[in-house]
Structure 1
Amino acid sequence: MTRPSEPAGDVDVARAAELFADRTRARILRALLDGRALPASVLASEAGVTPQAVSSQLSRLRDAGLVAVEPSGRHRYYRLASDHVATIMEALAVIAPAEPIRSLREGTRAAALRRSRTCYDHLAGQLGCAITQSLVEHGALTPIDGDGSTRRRPGQRLSSPVPEAPFRLGPRAAGVFGQLGVAGRHLDGAPRGRRPLLRFCLDWTEQRHHLAGQLGADVLTAMIDGGWITRRPRHRAVDLTDVGATELRRCLALDV
């Protein structure tokens, strides 16, 4: 939410939480979790409301700084304003009750999200966690605490960025990430702008770490550009292609 320029009292957490407490707004934000910009018509369909109803909720989310608008000719596309919004949504998923599955379509979709999905601009789910574990095993990432597992550490919250990265770049980072298509990009460990090179999230379905940050975004981009994974048109599940399965087996000895 937009903060006033003058000093004020404590932050109004209740006011911020109210923005996420409406079912329509929550479904809009959930539809945008894959980092793409979508038109209001698609968001109305995802939220199960009329175009008029979604328009008013989008205005409120935009005014609060949770979504941004990208004009394109006569059309307007909406996206999450930052990865912080995605982090909040993922964290809320931990304590939120699951919506009942009422159809085969909903069950299939839920299984697809658990298998492989995007978490804003990086991979999550079983695929994202498996790739991260393989990066550790192949020396591209080195555990800070000596624990080579990507499992959740005591006291770490699910679906939230880990304050202190449990891994750093390993001795084989350049070679392994190069095989994944991110050779020469950020692999010297030097900071690039404001975004951390290495960041990790605790996956809410797997309770394991998955790679985030700039390097996580680069891996996702390289896999999409290389045809290893494909996005689904209406939600954030992604599908591993035959090419991708072959390449992950070659690069990381990973069978998925």
Structure 2
Amino acid sequence: MPSTFLTPGTRSTARSVDGWRIGPFGLDVANRDLSCAVHVSLERWVKRTLGSIDHEQRVADIATDLFDVVGDLHQLDAADLRLLRWASIVHDVGRAVCDDTHPEQGAKLLRSERSLPLLPAERRHLVYLTLYHRGKVPSPGRDDVLSAGDDHERLYRTLALLRAADGLDNRDLGGKFHAPPRVVFGLTRRSALRANTLHVTCYLDQDSAKARRVYSRRKKFRLLEEVLSCQIAPTVIVAGSGKSVA
């Protein structure tokens, strides 16, 4: 059965689309981020506001790997990935105001921060992705953020990728490990008897009951399963111990 697997750091480049280098698994984004005034401005703003963007950068990398592996399923393009990476950087900025209501607070900050070099549509899309990266998500076209001319279905799929990536890097747990958990994705293609299955394996350097519980939680993948019409199978493995939780 055909499968696609991606371990972080295995991307290679082949061609260019809208300034992004596209390869077998997707995009070499590091150089693009450095040359993108918007991305740099967002990183600087969030770092000034939160003090650190370690979690945000890890979420951006996880989101990119996920985007690459399920590319045949989400039908998004390089512009959507650029927006996804921007959203990964800003999604938690509201924690500077209140942890409990940070999606709403982050949306307010994005609306009011006029120093950011964002077009009106880009700002609106980031507000949408930030506001709904946690909690209940309205059906496409039922939110109070996007305009009638926005591609609601496309942004809904981008949101699903953001929510899954964010769930695979826990801000609190990340600081308790010598290295952040390593996430590996594998996509098993549809057959006559089985649906597409996205395998998500999270490798922990140190054992932790909370980490195993958090990273094997299926709730964070529900929207992604819906938009990709696939099954998601999370597994947590503790390095050197052979322990796994599915």
Q: TM > 0.5 between the two?
A: no
**What TM-score does the superposition give when structure 2 sets the normalisation length?**
0.25
**What TM-score does the superposition give when structure 1 sets the normalisation length?**
0.24
Whichever of the two has the greater Rg, that structure is 1
| Structure showing the higher helix proportion among its residues | 2
